[in-house]
Amino acid sequence: MNKEKSIEALLSIDKELVLLSHINGVLVWDQESTSEHGKEERAQQIGLIERKIHEKATSDEMGEILTTLGASEEKKEGDADLPIDIKAIIRHRYHALSKEKKLSSSFVQHFSHTTSLAHETWVKARREDNYSLFAPVLEEIVSLIREKSDLYGYEDDPYDPLLDNFEPGMKTSEVKLVFDQLEGDLVQILERLRGRVEVEDSFLYQHYSEQKQELFSNDVLQAMGFDFKRGKVGISTHPYTISLGADDIRITTRYSEPSVTSPLYSIIHEGGHALYEMGVSHGSLKGTVLANASSLAFHESQSRLWENMIGRSRAFWKHFYKKFSTLFPTQLNGISEDQFYRAVNKVSPSPIRVDADEVTYSLHIMLRFNLERALLSGTLEVKDLKEAWNEGMNKLLGIEVKSDRLGVLQDVHWSMGEFAYFPTYALGNLYAAQIYHTMEQAISIDSIVESGDFSPIRHYLQENVYKWGALLEPKPLLEKITKEALNPTYYKEYLTNKYIKER
């Protein structure tokens, strides 16, 4: 097979793999509404699709194509004279081939089937507030994760090959170094806030009509640029974003939380993810593996940028508060715009990660990062995870965990077998602050947000972030956007300016 035919074959297989991943997305979305008796077969269906994806991505044909195009450990993008998009596809497919070929098809199917069923066990355990129901399943998942890490192989840390699945090019040692610095910064800011007058936010914890909440959330999504012709909003136990196709991006939220702002910021967060998905699949990358984010941390940077840096800003509520208070005149009677702004930015350690304030959020991630590494190394057993979790929450945040639902069972990720996913959340905060700082040099963000016309922000992000998709790995992409490597000081400066200097 010559080079031209190899490129045609590569693009054909790549398209098939993308379509299969979207089919899998349909099954995952449907799993949320499947009857109890249908969940077993749905898990089998998902497992079969993932096995087919694995087999096609690691086939001899794929290996021959990549070899013909010059791919190797020394040249992961293939021959230098190839077009940039083809080289990027080669890089992705070679990365998948070299790693996933180390996993047998039976292992992939067993792993997928196990985690699909584990999700339902997690939902039941969470509902019944009983970690012991989930622990046996998690024991099996941890065993499979250890096996996966060993099969991938590693030089320094068993966490490395797992982290590489979500944040290519990042090492565990690098994350630990950044987290050690970040923890010190966050603790310092938190200490400076202690002793200040408690922010009043009880008015957020009343009954707010779900119908009116949905109406307001849809208005915010509309302003952000969420295309309802290419997307849909649903309800689930754990909010998420998923692509069922290039023009079918789904997001979910939940209205079960006591605070009215929890569902709203969940919607804005997932909306940020959806804008990224819609942006990367809008142009020439559509239908290819490159119509994805550069990494999970880059994906998270966009959801956190919209949720916090825009959605919790004074400018945002200068525009939206009048409409919000009109929808809820009784609940917000006598509450000024400034009082509301301070309430939605209240810094107070919380047991729940998704409801954590900006100052303490990353401390939640550090706890999970440490626990995952301990489980993987065997220095922590699954049966002792609940106790270790509770001790960690007390040490980092001074919180006494009162239930499993508010503690070790609150996140869906371990039931999905997604170890090494959590660090991308905190890294996403850092990427977001650095990108936001750069964007501020180009456009007047506050005046744009206050106007309610967010299109200049969307245009900036489209041209500087979204359009690149996965053409570049995260490190070079961040440098391309901000003209420097990852710099945690921007996040510290952002938090200091907002929570220390402004108040």
DSSP per residue over 16-79, as a string? HHHHHHHHHHHHHHHHTT--GGGHHHHHHHHHHHHHHHHHHHT-HHHHHHHHHTT--SS-TT--
- Residue 33 has a pLDDT of 65
- Residue 32 has a pLDDT of 72
The reply to whether 162 falls in a domain is: no
Residues 75 and 114 in one domain: yes
Q: How far apart are CA 120 and CA 116, in angstroms?
A: 7
Residues 150 and 239 in one domain: no
The amino acid sitting at 477 is L
Residues 265 and 394 in one domain: yes
Query: What total of structural domains would you count in the chain?
Result: 2
The reply to whether 402 falls in a domain is: yes
Q: How far apart are CA 55 and CA 50, in angstroms?
A: 9
Q: What are phi and psi of 325, to 5 degrees?
A: -70, -25
Q: How far apart are CA 217 and CA 212, in angstroms?
A: 9
Model pTM? 0.91
- Residue 334 has a pLDDT of 96
CB 435 within 8 A of CB 486: no
Q: Which of 110, 126, 156 is the last residue of a domain?
A: 156
Q: What is the CATH number of the domain that holds 438?
A: 1.10.1370.30
- Residue 31 has a pLDDT of 78
Residues 195 and 47 in one domain: no
The reply to whether 44 falls in a domain is: yes
CA distances 175 to 284, 294, 472, Å, are 33, 17, 20
Reference 85, options 288, 315, 312, 357; nearest CA is 288
Residue with tokens 């997307």: 231
Residues 151 and 192 in one domain: no
Q: What are phi and psi of 190, to 5 degrees?
A: -60, -40
Residues 267 and 361 in one domain: yes
- Residue 28 has a pLDDT of 87
Q: Which residues of the chain have pLDDT under 50?
A: none
Residues 278 and 332 in one domain: yes
The reply to whether 150 falls in a domain is: yes
- Residue 21 has a pLDDT of 95
CB 286 within 8 A of CB 246: yes
Residues 139 and 183 in one domain: no
Q: Which of 156, 181, 213 is the last residue of a domain?
A: 156
Of 270, 277, 372, 418, which one is the catalytic site residue? 270
CB 466 within 8 A of CB 227: no
CB 419 within 8 A of CB 369: no
**Full domain range(s) for residue 268:** 172-501
Residues 103 and 179 in one domain: no
State the pairing for strand pair 241-245/248-253: antiparallel
Residue 270 designated active-site: yes
- Residue 502 has a pLDDT of 67
CA distances 454 to 32, 316, 494, Å, are 32, 10, 21
Residues 47 and 131 in one domain: yes
The reply to whether 163 falls in a domain is: no
The reply to whether 161 falls in a domain is: no
Degrees to nearest 5, angle at CA 440 with 423 and 309: 45
Reference 296, options 273, 319, 266; nearest CA is 273
Reference 295, options 436, 483, 164; nearest CA is 164
The reply to whether 52 falls in a domain is: yes
Three-class secondary structure of residue 330 per DSSP: coil
The reply to whether 107 falls in a domain is: yes
- Residue 503 has a pLDDT of 58
- Residue 491 has a pLDDT of 97
Residues 150 and 176 in one domain: no
- Residue 246 has a pLDDT of 92
Residues 140 and 53 in one domain: yes
Reference 362, options 423, 310, 295, 436; nearest CA is 423
Q: Which of 106, 121, 156 is the last residue of a domain?
A: 156
